[in-house]
Structure 1
Amino acid sequence: MIEIKKLQAYYQADMVFVTAHAAERFRQRGIQAKDIRQAVNNGEIIEQYPDDYPYPSCLIMGLSVKMQTIHVVMSDEGNCSRIITAYYPDKEKWEDDLKTRKV
């Protein structure tokens, strides 16, 4: 199971990477790198994906620099992490707490 403290430590050690594809998605969504870092630093893990390939990942809910709720998917690769995606949660898909998926 991934722990938020470990992902925060990767940020502190400058061991978090972003693919070009993910960076393009952030740009399209108006999300900046500082928003993602802020969300990870103040966030909590709300879903775990232990069977993701090639590395386990998790979904973090946190607040952006402008205090907007943001979701970030990160991997744990053992000694570093990769940002897979980040987005502002859609209220059509998430309950009011923005932690629970609607069924």
Structure 2
Amino acid sequence: MKGTGYRDSARIVSRLREQAFANSIHVTIHAHQEMVAENVSYDAVREVLFDAEVIENYPDHQRGPCCLLCGLASSRHPLHIVCTTSLDVVIIITVYEPKPPKWITPFQRGDRNEM
């Protein structure tokens, strides 16, 4: 599977949007636990998939191509979603609200030495 990921962010977003529209989404146990802890609904995750921005892309990840998305759900809170990018079903790996000190803004990482 290594090396089969998309490198073009626009193509990734388009594919994820299609998968969200078709409801071709699988939430991992870890992602579900994070969603419960962060009080994030499945609908909020789906909303973000419709209008997300790729902020980090990992096309050659050892476990398969994936990316980090940032988007706003209807709650207007930013959400980060790590998901697959090359499967027929989008697999949601984790979901969280970006917060300091790990994130300065939803799109900018904090100092890794302070984490």
Question: Is the pair's TM-score, using the shorter chain for normalization, greater than 0.5?
Answer: yes
Report the TM-score when normalising by structure 2. Answer: 0.79
Matched AA of 2:43: K
- Correspondent of 2:100 among 75, 91, 97: 91
Matched AA of 1:99: F
1:53 and 1:26 mapped to 2: Cα distance?
A: 25
Alignment partner, residue 47 of structure 2: 38
Pairs aligned (count): 102
Identity of aligned pairs, percent?
A: 27
Report 1:1-103 matches (<5 A). Answer: 1=7, 3-96=12-105, 98-103=106-111
2:30 and 2:81 mapped to 1: Cα distance?
A: 15
Report the TM-score when normalising by structure 1. Answer: 0.88
Deviations 1:1-45 (A, max 9, x none): 251110111111221111223212211111111111111212111
1:95 and 1:25 mapped to 2: Cα distance?
A: 21
CA distance 1:77–1:32, shift in 2 (3 Å): same
Aligned 8 A contact 1:74 1:83 in 2:
yes
Aligned 8 A contact 2:100 2:110 in 1:
no
- Identify unmatched segments of 5+ residues in structure 1: none
Rg larger in structure: 2
- Identify unmatched segments of 5+ residues in structure 2: 1-6
